[in-house]
Structure formats: structure tokens, C-alpha cells
């Protein structure tokens, strides 16, 4: 192809890509702008910029931010304790039963969050202390996020020769505890970290299950968001969105960086032990 034809094609592709990005990013920018505009209907030019909406949001809803963080961290702790050992069992035993379990674990992702929430209420709604506690929401979040932790760890475990690695450690006298924490966990660290970021991100943003489970005293950030959108000034809702972005964007960036890191580690491990090396 001629240089001109090549340039033209490149130019068109670039234009299309930028146009698509603009289309997707514009609402985000509009939303952020609305959150710092004095009066959205008279426009930013006339009403000027202000932080008063952010202050108001923080005053009304800082509890939801703290609760969301609390639930996200608790959810992370539970998914780590349940997910990493479960992934280990699934990776080590390749029977039909474990395959079935692995498939079943996807169910909470496939089933609508509202249905999961309703099922929890039907089953445990009568246990009053539990129903009104933040732990009730935590259970919903764990149900939803556990598969992500498990699959992320399992993916790394399946990419390395876990059994031989463990036999190597055992032959040197390491007990199961020493093998698990000294050899297995460090070598699947990338999967655990990626899973952890995923769990925290999903938990902070989770709405469907939480909307069924929350009480006026256990409102999370996304529930608060929905409430402001429905019943408050547009500027307040938008300011609240900014708060949400501030929490979630660093996590998303970290997740991207992790996945790059993980690809590198998996490559090293595969090249390092799995394949016959005859350099």
C-alpha cells in the first residue's frame, strides 16, 4: 500500500478511536463537572465552581463511605481465608467432584444479585440481630466476590507445577503449614493480589444484592448514590459520584498494573520449572 493510503487509513482509525473515547468519557466528565458547579441549570459559567456539594455529601454520607470500606476489607479477609485454600484444593485434586464445585462457584455471578439478596432474606431474615447487622450485607458480598478470588488464584496455581513444587518442599522436611505459607502462597502471590483488588473493587461498587439487604442504618456507598440520584439535587448526586470515583479509580489502576505483573510472573514460572530447559 502507498504511504499516502497507509496514512489515510491510520488517520481514519485514530479519528474513530478518539471519537469513541470521547463518546464514552464525556458523560464521566459531565458528571464530575456537575458535582462542582454552583448551579447546574444556570451553568458553570454563571454560577461558578464550588466545593459546597462535596461538603454536603460528606456531611450526609461519610458513614456510607466508611461502611463500604469496612465491608470491602472484611469481604477481602473472608474471601482470602476461604478462597485461597479452596483454590488449592481444586488445583490439587482434579476429580469430577472438584470440577463440579468449580462450575457451581460461578452461579453467584450468573444469578441476578436481587435474587441472591431475596434468597438471603427469605432464609435468614427472621434472625433479627443478623438481619439488621452489616454482617448480613457482608455475607451477600462474599457470595458474589468469592468466585473472583478463587478463579484468580486457581488460574495462577494451574499455570505452575504446584504438585512437584510442594513435593520438593516436602522432601526437604517442610510440614504442610511450612509448604503452604512458605512455598505455595508466595508463588501464587500475583493471583492473590489480583483477586484481592478485584474483590475490593467489586465489593465497594456492589449495588444489586446490597439494595435488597441494607437497612437505614447499614447503607453502603452505592445505595447512598441511588438515594441521592432519586431524591436530591443533581449537583449533590454528581458530587457523590466524584467521591465514588476517588475511591474506585486507584483500585482499577492497581488492577491493571497487577495483571501486567501477573503475566510476567506466569511467564517466568512456566519457563523456570515447567519446560525442559537446555540452555
Partner 1 sequence: MAIRLRDSAVSIRLEACGKTFADGTRALEPLTLDITAGETVVFLGPSGCGKTTTLRLIAGLEKPDAGGRVRFGDDDVTALPIEKRNVGMVFQSYALFPNMSVAQNVAYGLRVRRVASVERAAQVTEMLDLMHLQEFANRSVDQLSGGQRQRVALARALIVKPRVLLLDEPLTALDAKLRETLRVEIDRLLRELEITTIYVTHDQAEAMSLGDRIVVMEKGRVAQVGTPQEIYYRPASRFVAEFIGTMNRLRGVVRGGLMEIVGGHLPCDAADGETAELGFRPEDARIADASDGALAGRVAAAFFLGDRTRVIVEGVAEELIVVESSQRRQFVKGETVHIAVRPDTLLRLN
Binding site for partner 1 (CB under 8 A): 160-161, 164-165, 167-175, 178, 182-183, 186-187, 189, 268-269, 271-274, 276-279
Minimum distance from CB of 200 to partner 1 (Å)?
A: 24
Minimum distance from CB of 98 to partner 1 (Å)?
A: 15
Q: Of 3 and 278, which has the nearer Cβ to partner 1? A: 278
Helix/strand/coil for 173: coil
Q: Of 54 and 169, which has the nearer Cβ to partner 1? A: 169
Q: Of 55 and 167, which has the nearer Cβ to partner 1? A: 167
Q: Of 5 and 186, which has the nearer Cβ to partner 1? A: 186
Which residues neighbour 221 within 8 Å (Cβ) at sequence distance 6 or greater? 61, 64, 65, 67, 68, 204, 243, 244, 247
Minimum distance from CB of 43 to partner 1 (Å)?
A: 57
Q: Of 43 and 274, which has the nearer Cβ to partner 1? A: 274
At 49, phi and psi to the nearest 5?
Answer: -95, 150
Minimum distance from CB of 126 to partner 1 (Å)?
A: 45
Minimum distance from CB of 157 to partner 1 (Å)?
A: 13
Minimum distance from CB of 259 to partner 1 (Å)?
A: 19
CA pair distance 85, 142, nearest whole angstrom: 15
Percentages of the chain per state (helix, strand, coil), in multiples of 5: 80, 0, 15
User: DSSP states of 61-123 as a string?
Assistant: HHHHHHHHHHHHHHHHHHHHHHHHHHHHHHHH---HHHHHHHHHTTHHHHS-HHHHHHHHHHH
CA pair distance 49, 42, nearest whole angstrom: 12
27, 32, 135, 251, 267 from 247: Cα distances, Å: 19, 14, 22, 7, 32
CA pair distance 98, 124, nearest whole angstrom: 28
Minimum distance from CB of 169 to partner 1 (Å)?
A: 7
Q: Of 105 and 192, which has the nearer Cβ to partner 1? A: 192
Q: Of 71 and 193, which has the nearer Cβ to partner 1? A: 193
C-alpha cell recorded at residue 23: 463518546
C-alpha cell recorded at residue 240: 457523590
Amino acid at each position: 500500500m502507498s504511504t499516502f493510503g497507509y496514512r489515510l487509513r491510520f488517520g481514519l482509525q485514530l479519528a474513530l478511536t478518539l471519537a469513541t473515547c470521547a463518546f464514552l468519557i464525556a458523560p464521566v466528565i459531565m458528571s464530575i463537572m456537575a458535582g462542582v458547579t454552583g448551579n447546574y441549570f444556570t451553568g458553570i459559567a454563571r454560577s461558578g465552581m464550588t466545593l459546597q456539594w462535596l461538603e454536603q455529601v460528606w456531611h450526609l454520607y461519610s458513614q456510607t463511605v466508611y461502611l463500604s470500606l469496612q465491608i470491602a476489607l472484611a469481604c477481602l479477609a473472608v474471601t482470602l481465608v476461604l478462597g485461597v485454600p479452596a483454590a488449592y484444593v481444586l488445583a490439587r485434586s482434579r476429580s469430577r467432584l472438584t470440577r463440579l464445585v468449580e462450575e457451581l462457584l460461578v452461579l453467584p455471578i450468573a444469578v441476578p444479585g436481587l435474587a441472591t439478596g431475596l434468597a438471603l432474606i427469605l432464609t435468614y431474615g427472621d434472625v433479627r440481630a443478623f438481619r439488621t447487622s452489616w454482617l448480613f450485607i457482608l455475607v451477600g458480598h462474599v457470595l458474589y466476590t468469592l468466585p473472583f478470588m478463587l478463579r484468580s488464584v486457581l488460574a495462577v496455581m494451574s499455570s505452575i507445577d504446584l504438585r512437584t513444587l510442594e513435593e520438593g518442599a516436602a522432601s526437604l522436611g517442610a510440614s504442610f503449614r511450612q509448604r503452604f505459607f512458605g512455598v505455595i502462597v508466595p508463588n501464587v502471590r500475583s493471583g492473590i493480589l489480583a483477586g484481592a483488588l478485584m474483590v475490593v473493587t467489586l465489593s465497594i461498587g456492589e449495588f444489586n444484592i446490597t439494595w435488597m439487604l441494607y437497612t437505614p442504618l447499614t447503607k453502603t456507598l452505592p445505595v447512598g448514590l441511588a438515594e441521592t440520584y432519586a431524591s436530591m439535587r443533581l449537583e449533590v448526586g454528581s458530587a457523590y459520584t466524584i467521591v465514588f470515583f476517588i475511591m474506585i479509580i486507584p483500585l482499577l489502576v492497581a488492577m491493571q498494573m497487577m495483571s501486567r505483573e501477573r503475566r510476567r510472573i506466569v511467564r517466568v514460572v512456566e519457563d523456570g520449572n515447567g519446560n525442559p530447559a537446555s540452555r
